[in-house]
């Protein structure tokens, strides 16, 4: 074993507040110069494993720990967080929890200053890290005004500048547009090739497979179910919970019963005025800072029955656009009308009766002492009847699979669970339009498919809009796709219309997925986009899985 490798033996951990073990007898090695992909369903123990390696357990998260961890051949037990951080760098799921500096340069320099490096060395390393991630242009920007994806890149830059021996990445792609995700993965590949040990926890398995990780691990209920060459991973995992590339799902799903059809329309849209305009943007312009343009003349309508996927690169203006719809931001020019009322003349609370918004970062909206109290807060303020609040809270908890967590503090849950709490909090409000910013971040495939399907069946919602970097979410659920770039709506139409031009997608930093490509190949036969599980039962393309495995996994 090389000095810069990571070794774990018989690691078990139980959080002080929980009865069950979060990790059970974990043993493995991660060699220098290699990438280890760690896959598993939400709540399987992936983040807990990361916390053990970087010292947050037991220094910050208390509980019972057994077993040993060695970095560079030295045990880390008993070392301070400051000492461990010089050997192990961590990029968290939620960049909001990692960013402390008010400006990008200060944030990336923060760790280096604590190492007491010279000013010249600090500035050199900051520029090197920002350049590596193609974000040198953000150097003097305020971190508060960055997009979620830009914040994620800044968090990665801050860790890279420290030059750790072991790099832990906890869902680093969750907030990145597809092109940025590919660039980040290529950077990770180069870091490993230069001798770094990289552990990557990621739900976007298809993306990570493109950099050929040498080893893969599948965690389930705190135990290792598979550990070995990446080529063997897909046969070890449950494809219902871990989203595999479409050709591999085709091979597996064809042996299963035909699935129930997915919901592609809103119950509320079946009645009422078809295509009624609910929200209208008229020439909306906006910038956070002077001489800055984030939205450049947006003209847009959200209509009754719309299930809209908003796609576009990091920093394109997607979240800014949505925050105008809910009244959190007001146009510098033009206007936004909600139910015919100008948002300049109505309060955010009044808008909330019509639009419910799930923030990209759960930490922006969670505060209550328990999950139950969190979910009851919104409908209580909207003056819903108590018996209705109780029913809606119970239904929202069921939809996002958080039964048993009702009395837990939301901010003590995992990032993926927090995301589901934030979604449930808005579901319980029963607003007419549901708006979600990156709803699948931190979620395994089964969770997000089930809650998306349940949401679209709920009575009361007249439109649903979700910002996403997951093109497959648009393929499976949307009946309308809006592509945003450079502060403008550059495409607006059905998924088939907007997503068929692969070259144009790539120009807008969207990378076509295997599911999209398969749907386009079959569109003349199906006349609609479908999930891989449905395509598997068409009796075609089943031989693609062998070719995919040979070209990608080996």
What CATH number is associated with residue 465?
3.40.50.300
Q: Does any domain span residue 126?
A: no
pLDDT above 80 (res 105): yes
Model confidence band, residue 553 (pLDDT cutoffs 50, 70, 90) = very low
Cα 476 to Cα 440: distance, rounded to the nearest angstrom: 13
Q: Does any domain span residue 51?
A: no
- pLDDT given for residue 539 in this prediction: 61
Among the listed residues 372, 442, 376, the one whose alpha carbon sits nearest the alpha carbon of residue 409: 372
pLDDT above 80 (res 148): no
Q: Does any domain span residue 285?
A: yes
Percent composition of the chain: helix, strand, coil (DSSP 3-state, to 5): 40, 20, 40
233-268, pLDDT tens digit by residue? Answer: 988 888 888 888 999 899 889 888 888 887 777 766
pLDDT above 70 (res 540): no
Displacement of CA 270 from its chain's centroid (Å): 31
Q: Does any domain span residue 329?
A: yes
Cα–Cα distances (Å) from 413 to 114, 363, 407, 422, in that order, read 30, 11, 11, 12
Q: Does any domain span residue 318?
A: yes
113-126, pLDDT tens digit by residue? Answer: 988 899 999 999 99
Q: Does any domain span residue 531?
A: no
410-468, pLDDT tens digit by residue? Answer: 988 878 888 899 999 999 998 899 999 999 887 888 888 888 888 888 878 899 999 99
- pLDDT given for residue 538 in this prediction: 80
Find where tokens 């009575």 sit. Answer: 459
pLDDT above 90 (res 21): yes
- pLDDT given for residue 435 in this prediction: 94
Q: Does any domain span residue 123?
A: no
Cα 21 to Cα 57: distance, rounded to the nearest angstrom: 14
Displacement of CA 12 from its chain's centroid (Å): 27
Q: What is the mean pLDDT of residues 29-33?
A: 94
Model confidence band, residue 270 (pLDDT cutoffs 50, 70, 90) = low
Q: Does any domain span residue 398?
A: yes
Lowest mean pLDDT among 154-168, 284-298, 339-353, 438-452: 438-452
Cα 209 to Cα 245: distance, rounded to the nearest angstrom: 9
Among the listed residues 318, 363, 379, 357, the one whose alpha carbon sits nearest the alpha carbon of residue 436: 357
Phi and psi dihedrals of 198, rounded to 5? -120, 125
pLDDT above 90 (res 106): yes
Total domains present in the chain = 1
Among the listed residues 496, 543, 544, the one whose alpha carbon sits nearest the alpha carbon of residue 523: 496
Query: Would you say 91 and 99 are in contact if contact means Cβ atoms under 8 Å apart?
Result: no
- For residue 502, the enclosing domain spans 267-506
Cα 161 to Cα 89: distance, rounded to the nearest angstrom: 10
336-381, pLDDT tens digit by residue? Answer: 999 999 999 999 988 988 999 998 888 888 999 999 999 999 999 9
């Amino acid at each position: 074993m090389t000095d810069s490798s990571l070794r774990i033996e018989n690691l078990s951990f139980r959080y002080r507040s929980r009865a069950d073990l979060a990790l059970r007898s974990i043993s493995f090695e991660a060699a220098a110069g290699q990438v280890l992909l760690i896959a598993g369903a939400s709540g399987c123990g992936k983040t807990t494993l990361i916390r053990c390696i970087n010292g947050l357990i037991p220094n910050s998260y208390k509980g019972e720990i057994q077993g040993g961890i060695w970095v560079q051949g030295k045990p880390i037990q008993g070392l301070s967080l400051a000492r461990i951080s010089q050997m192990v760098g961590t990029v968290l799921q939620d960049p909001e929890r990692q960013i402390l500096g008010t400006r990008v340069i200060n944030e990336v320099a923060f760790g280096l200053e604590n190492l007491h490096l010279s000013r010249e060395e600090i500035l050199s390393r900051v520029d090197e890290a920002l350049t590596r991630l193609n974000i040198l242009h953000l150097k003097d920007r305020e971190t508060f005004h960055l997009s979620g994806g830009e914040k994620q890149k800044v968090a990665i830059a801050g860790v890279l500048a420290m030059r750790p021996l072991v790099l832990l990445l906890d869902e680093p792609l969750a907030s990145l547009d597809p092109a940025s995700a590919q660039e980040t993965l290529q950077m990770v590949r180069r870091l490993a090739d230069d001798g770094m040990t990289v552990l990557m926890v990621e739900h976007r398995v298809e993306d990570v497979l493109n950099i050929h990780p040498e080893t893969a691990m599948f965690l389930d209920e705190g135990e290792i179910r598979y550990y070995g060459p990446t080529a063997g991973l897909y046969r070890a995992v449950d494809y219902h919970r871990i989203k595999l590339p479409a050709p591999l799902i085709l091979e597996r799903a064809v042996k299963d019963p035909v699935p129930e059809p997915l919901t592609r329309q809103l119950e509320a849209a079946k009645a009422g005025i078809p295509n009624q305009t609910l929200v209208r943007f008229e020439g909306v312009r906006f910038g956070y800072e002077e001489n800055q343009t984030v939205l450049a003349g947006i003209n847009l309508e959200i209509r009754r029955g719309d299930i809209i996927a908003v796609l576009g690169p990091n920093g394109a203006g997607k979240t800014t656009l949505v925050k105008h719809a809910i009244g959190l931001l007001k146009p510098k020019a033009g206007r936004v009308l909600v139910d015919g009322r100008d948002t300049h003349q109505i309060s955010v609370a009044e808008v909330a009766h019509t639009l419910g918004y799930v923030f990209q970062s759960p930490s922006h909206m969670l505060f209550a002492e328990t999950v139950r109290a969190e979910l009851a807060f919104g409908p209580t303020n909207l003056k819903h009847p108590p018996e209705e609040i109780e029913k809606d809270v119970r239904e929202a908890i069921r939809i996002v699979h958080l039964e048993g967590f009702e009395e837990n503090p939301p901010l003590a849950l995992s990032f993926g669970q927090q995301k589901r709490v934030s979604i449930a909090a808005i579901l319980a409000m029963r607003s007419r339009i549901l708006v979600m910013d990156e709803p699948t971040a931190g979620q395994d495939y089964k969770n997000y498919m089930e809650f998306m399907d349940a949401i679209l069946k709920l009575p009361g919602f007249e439109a649903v809009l979700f910002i996403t970097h997951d093109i497959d979410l648009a393929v499976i659920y949307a009946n309308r796709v809006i592509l945003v770039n450079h502060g403008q709506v550059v495409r607006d139409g059905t998924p088939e219309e907007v997503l068929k031009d692969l070259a144009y997608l790539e120009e807008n930093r969207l990378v076509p997925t295997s599911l999209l490509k398969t749907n386009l190949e079959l569109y003349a036969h199906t006349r609609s986009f479908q999930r891989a599980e449905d395509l598997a039962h068409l009796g075609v393309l089943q031989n693609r899985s062998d070719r995919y495995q040979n070209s990608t996994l080996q």
